[in-house]
Structure 1
Amino acid sequence: MAPLNQVITQNYIALFMNSDWQPFYEQPRTGIPTFDVSGAGVLNNKRIPKRWMYPESRGR
Protein backbone atom coordinates (compact mmCIF):
# COMPACT_ATOMS: atom_id res chain seq x y z
CA MET A 1 0.00 0.00 0.00
CA ALA A 2 1.37 3.40 -0.95
CA PRO A 3 2.20 5.81 1.90
CA LEU A 4 -0.58 8.25 0.92
CA ASN A 5 -3.12 5.42 0.95
CA GLN A 6 -1.95 4.43 4.42
CA VAL A 7 -2.30 7.98 5.73
CA ILE A 8 -5.80 8.41 4.29
CA THR A 9 -6.88 4.98 5.57
CA GLN A 10 -5.59 5.75 9.07
CA ASN A 11 -7.37 9.11 8.97
CA TYR A 12 -10.60 7.33 8.01
CA ILE A 13 -10.19 4.84 10.87
CA ALA A 14 -9.45 7.60 13.36
CA LEU A 15 -12.49 9.65 12.34
CA PHE A 16 -14.96 6.80 11.88
CA MET A 17 -17.22 6.91 15.05
CA ASN A 18 -15.32 9.92 16.44
CA SER A 19 -16.69 12.69 14.25
CA ASP A 20 -19.87 13.63 12.47
CA TRP A 21 -19.82 13.24 8.68
CA GLN A 22 -16.11 13.76 7.94
CA PRO A 23 -15.35 10.12 6.95
CA PHE A 24 -18.45 10.03 4.74
CA TYR A 25 -17.24 13.07 2.78
CA GLU A 26 -13.57 12.08 2.63
CA GLN A 27 -14.14 8.63 1.11
CA PRO A 28 -15.89 9.79 -2.11
CA ARG A 29 -13.41 12.64 -2.48
CA THR A 30 -10.32 10.42 -2.24
CA GLY A 31 -11.70 6.98 -3.13
CA ILE A 32 -9.81 5.55 -0.17
CA PRO A 33 -10.60 3.20 1.50
CA THR A 34 -12.24 1.12 -1.20
CA PHE A 35 -15.32 -0.84 -0.21
CA ASP A 36 -16.81 -4.02 -1.62
CA VAL A 37 -20.41 -3.06 -2.31
CA SER A 38 -21.63 -6.28 -3.86
CA GLY A 39 -24.59 -8.19 -2.56
CA ALA A 40 -28.25 -8.90 -3.10
CA GLY A 41 -29.39 -5.69 -1.38
CA VAL A 42 -27.34 -3.34 -3.58
CA LEU A 43 -29.62 -1.89 -6.24
CA ASN A 44 -27.57 1.04 -7.58
CA ASN A 45 -25.06 -0.66 -9.90
CA LYS A 46 -22.71 -1.46 -7.00
CA ARG A 47 -21.84 2.18 -6.29
CA ILE A 48 -21.81 3.93 -2.93
CA PRO A 49 -24.46 6.69 -2.89
CA LYS A 50 -23.13 10.22 -3.23
CA ARG A 51 -26.42 11.98 -2.46
CA TRP A 52 -29.30 11.28 -0.15
CA MET A 53 -32.79 11.35 -1.60
CA TYR A 54 -35.45 13.26 0.31
CA PRO A 55 -39.12 12.34 0.17
CA GLU A 56 -41.37 14.57 -1.93
CA SER A 57 -43.41 15.52 1.13
CA ARG A 58 -40.38 17.16 2.79
CA GLY A 59 -39.41 19.36 -0.09
CA ARG A 60 -41.62 22.31 -0.69
Structure 2
Amino acid sequence: MRTPQYAPMPGELIKDKVTGATGVYMETWCGRVYLRPARGGVEMRCKPENVLPAPGKLRGPQHP
Protein backbone atom coordinates (compact mmCIF):
# COMPACT_ATOMS: atom_id res chain seq x y z
CA MET A 1 0.00 0.00 0.00
CA ARG A 2 1.30 3.43 -0.94
CA THR A 3 1.61 6.21 1.66
CA PRO A 4 -0.27 9.40 0.71
CA GLN A 5 1.95 12.32 -0.27
CA TYR A 6 2.16 15.22 2.21
CA ALA A 7 0.22 18.26 0.95
CA PRO A 8 1.16 21.54 2.69
CA MET A 9 -1.14 24.55 3.05
CA PRO A 10 -0.11 27.99 1.70
CA GLY A 11 1.93 29.86 4.31
CA GLU A 12 3.01 26.66 6.09
CA LEU A 13 6.65 26.15 7.05
CA ILE A 14 8.07 23.20 5.08
CA LYS A 15 11.39 21.48 4.48
CA ASP A 16 13.00 19.95 1.39
CA LYS A 17 14.39 16.66 2.69
CA VAL A 18 16.95 16.48 -0.14
CA THR A 19 18.62 19.89 0.29
CA GLY A 20 17.59 20.60 3.88
CA ALA A 21 16.17 23.98 2.79
CA THR A 22 13.36 25.31 4.97
CA GLY A 23 10.84 27.86 3.78
CA VAL A 24 7.24 28.95 3.50
CA TYR A 25 5.08 26.97 1.09
CA MET A 26 3.84 29.20 -1.74
CA GLU A 27 2.24 26.87 -4.29
CA THR A 28 2.54 23.72 -6.36
CA TRP A 29 2.78 24.43 -10.08
CA CYS A 30 3.76 22.23 -13.02
CA GLY A 31 4.73 19.35 -10.74
CA ARG A 32 7.04 21.40 -8.48
CA VAL A 33 6.59 22.78 -4.97
CA TYR A 34 7.65 26.41 -4.50
CA LEU A 35 8.89 27.66 -1.15
CA ARG A 36 10.32 31.00 -0.11
CA PRO A 37 12.75 31.65 2.77
CA ALA A 38 10.79 32.69 5.89
CA ARG A 39 12.47 36.12 6.01
CA GLY A 40 11.92 36.75 2.29
CA GLY A 41 14.03 36.13 -0.75
CA VAL A 42 14.03 34.17 -3.96
CA GLU A 43 11.67 31.20 -4.27
CA MET A 44 13.16 27.72 -4.36
CA ARG A 45 11.54 24.68 -5.89
CA CYS A 46 11.59 20.98 -5.14
CA LYS A 47 9.74 17.80 -5.98
CA PRO A 48 6.50 17.23 -4.05
CA GLU A 49 7.70 13.84 -2.78
CA ASN A 50 10.65 15.57 -1.04
CA VAL A 51 8.50 17.92 1.09
CA LEU A 52 8.11 17.46 4.84
CA PRO A 53 6.51 19.65 7.50
CA ALA A 54 9.25 21.74 9.15
CA PRO A 55 9.53 21.97 12.91
CA GLY A 56 8.85 25.38 14.41
CA LYS A 57 6.46 28.21 13.70
CA LEU A 58 6.68 31.48 11.85
CA ARG A 59 6.95 34.52 14.11
CA GLY A 60 6.13 38.18 13.51
CA PRO A 61 6.49 40.02 10.21
CA GLN A 62 8.29 37.98 7.60
CA HIS A 63 9.86 40.92 5.77
CA PRO A 64 12.21 43.48 7.31
TM-score, normalised by the number of residues in structure 2: 0.21
The structure carrying a bigger strand percent of its residues is 2
Query: Which gives a bigger RCO, structure 1 or 2 (Cα 8 Å, sep 6+)?
Result: 2
TM-score normalized by the length of structure 1: 0.21
> Computing the radius of gyration over CA atoms, which structure comes out larger, 1 or 2?
1
